Structure 1
Amino acid sequence: MLSSIQRAGLCRELGQTRYTDYRATAAWLAVTYEVHYSVSGLTDLLPRVGYSYKLTAAVPCLADAAKQTAFLTDTLAPLLAQAEAGEAVVYFADAAHPTHNTRATHVWTETGKERPLLTVSGRERVNLNAALNAHCPTQVHRDETDCVNAQSTQRRYEKLLAAHPEGPIRVICNNARYYKNKALNAWLDKKRLVQVFLPTYSPNLNLMERLWKFLRQKIINTAFYRTKGQFKTAVLDFFDRLPEFGKELASRMSLKFHVLDSQSNS
């Protein structure tokens, strides 16, 4: 058994060092405190001291917490308030390129047995340029294209303008080069639609990133598609099925954002 001081030391070590398995943790305890734990013993101990085994969270190494906080307070909050009051509509935009390449994932499996999933090693992609309504996450306008560029972005914006024939439209987007294309911005000068750029390295502030993750969980990571055609059909049908996922989307697409700070995650 560990004393309270030893437990505190273990927690500090787990917080400072990334241990990928129980054996390495057991080795540290043996060297540091001369206390020997089995794998099953650590399986019981670590949850009791507040630790669970989970994936690390990817943080862009140049994420700036101060810039993200300023954007949320000074730019995004007023825009969302206008949208809630019916004075404008706010969309989050992003592109994705789902690849026809089966990935293994975690599913409930009977103990002692394996749960096989057929795989393909394709490299063909479905290129999507999409925008999600901040206050109605089942309302997504997409452009499926051979190449995500300024032209596909303009087609997506034309769909937003058609869906909202009156009032200002604000589109929250990242700093991809096609958003700053001269021809696209010349076209936008005459429109009610304005692009609002996120701070660099801030995917956590874009609701579309959450939708792409939801797409992977629902469609890509849990099924096998023998042909690219089957894969593409399933991906595109996902957008038609969004009302079916209404409750899940409402909880996942809440307008609460976690600020990332690369300086505190080194």
Structure 2
Amino acid sequence: MQPRKLGQMPAKAAPAAQEECKTEQREPRRAEAQAGQRVVCFMEAAHGVYVPCLAVVWCCTRVFVQAPSGRQRVHVLAALHATTQEIVTVQHLTDVTAETVWELLRVLAGASPAGPITIVRDNARYQQGALVQERAQNLGIELLYLPAYSPNLHLIERLWKGVKKPCLYGRSSPTSADFQAAIQQCIGQAPSDHLTELESLLTLKFQTFTAVPVLGEEAKVTSSAAEKQQQAHVSLFPKRKHAQKEVSAKAA
């Protein structure tokens, strides 16, 4: 036993549905993509709010950044190529709609070589309309929807987290136009400037939660002797608890 940081999982996720999607739908297409027989892209929108992202910096005195109101947003709909890590984006200042999705699908169809194309996406309303379904079918694009509450199966979720830190944390954007330009520049330069980080971050390995210990529930612990059932135990202050044990032992 040792101090460990808690992990998180989607509270409303269905682990069985995620496992089925991963093994029966995703794995065959992943194998085809790695063999060069299919193009697989992960599509999702990011909604950047024009507010400062605070960070820890080296300084002699505490430094402050001016904080805008946060009423302005930058909406970026992007598609991430599963094997080449190429990023294709469509950016809007208003909102992401079915027309935005159609625009990106058209770009992907024109940029991809002859062969089947699969777009992995979540269940956002603007991605499920009849317009998107019809035009994707006309372009010969397969739309593969993830189970509800499955960010752990969405590769582009890792991209957004990886891009946000070097792009926005500890930086000041005087205007919303500067904020928009910073996001677009960071996304555009990510495959070249952050190639090493992306290669380790965007691996085609996805975690599911069919057999993990959950705080407050019974957890299965496998030992060399047998499988035992025990209550998941968490110590929030392990060092302090250890010190108290030492003091009690000396007092005795």
Fold shared, TM-score > 0.5 on shorter chain: yes
In structure 2, the CA distance between the partners of 1:265 and 1:130, relative to structure 1 (3 Å rule), is farther
One-letter identity of the residue aligned with 1:142: T
**CA RMSD between the two structures:** 2.0
Q: Which has the larger helix fraction?
A: 1
Partner of 1:84: 34
TM-score normalised by the chain length of structure 1 = 0.74
Partner of 1:176: 124
One-letter identity of the residue aligned with 1:50: Q
1:253 lines up with 2:211 in the alignment: no
Structure 2 contact 43–156 (Cα < 8 Å) conserved: yes
One-letter identity of the residue aligned with 1:252: L
1:65 lines up with 2:12 in the alignment: no
Q: Which runs of 4+ in 1 moved over 6 A?
A: none
Partner of 1:32: none
Q: C-alpha separation between the residues in 2 aligned to 1:60 and 1:236?
A: 29
Deviations 1:48-70 (A, max 9, x none): x6215x5x544321112211111
One-letter identity of the residue aligned with 1:179: Q
Deviations 1:158-204 (A, max 9, x none): 11111114111101100111111112211122122111011110011
Q: C-alpha separation between the residues in 1 aligned to 2:29 and 2:36?
A: 11
- Once the two structures are TM-superposed, the CA of residue 81 in structure 1 deviates from its matched residue by 0.4
1:241 lines up with 2:189 in the alignment: yes
One-letter identity of the residue aligned with 2:30: L
1:139-150 to structure 2, matched below 5 A, reads 139-145=86-92, 146-150=94-98
1:145-224 to structure 2, matched below 5 A, reads 145=92, 146-224=94-172
One-letter identity of the residue aligned with 2:163: L
1:136 lines up with 2:79 in the alignment: no
1:122 to 63, 66, 69: 69
In structure 2, the CA distance between the partners of 1:234 and 1:76, relative to structure 1 (3 Å rule), is same
One-letter identity of the residue aligned with 2:199: A
1:95 lines up with 2:45 in the alignment: yes
Partner of 2:238: none
Structure 1 contact 101–119 (Cα < 8 Å) conserved: no
Q: C-alpha separation between the residues in 2 aligned to 1:57 and 1:97?
A: 24
One-letter identity of the residue aligned with 2:80: L
Structure 1 contact 204–260 (Cα < 8 Å) conserved: no
Which segments of 5 or more consecutive residues in structure 2 lack a partner in the other structure? 217-252
Report how many residues are paired: 212
- Once the two structures are TM-superposed, the CA of residue 116 in structure 1 deviates from its matched residue by 2.3
Q: C-alpha separation between the residues in 1 aligned to 2:64 and 2:27?
A: 44
- Once the two structures are TM-superposed, the CA of residue 210 in structure 1 deviates from its matched residue by 0.6
In structure 2, the CA distance between the partners of 1:188 and 1:264, relative to structure 1 (3 Å rule), is same
Structure 1 contact 175–197 (Cα < 8 Å) conserved: yes
SS of residue in 1 equivalent to 2:37: coil
- Once the two structures are TM-superposed, the CA of residue 216 in structure 1 deviates from its matched residue by 1.1
SS of residue in 1 equivalent to 2:95: coil
Q: C-alpha separation between the residues in 1 aligned to 2:16 and 2:108?
A: 31
Q: C-alpha separation between the residues in 2 aligned to 1:118 and 1:227?
A: 13
Aligned identity (percent) is: 28
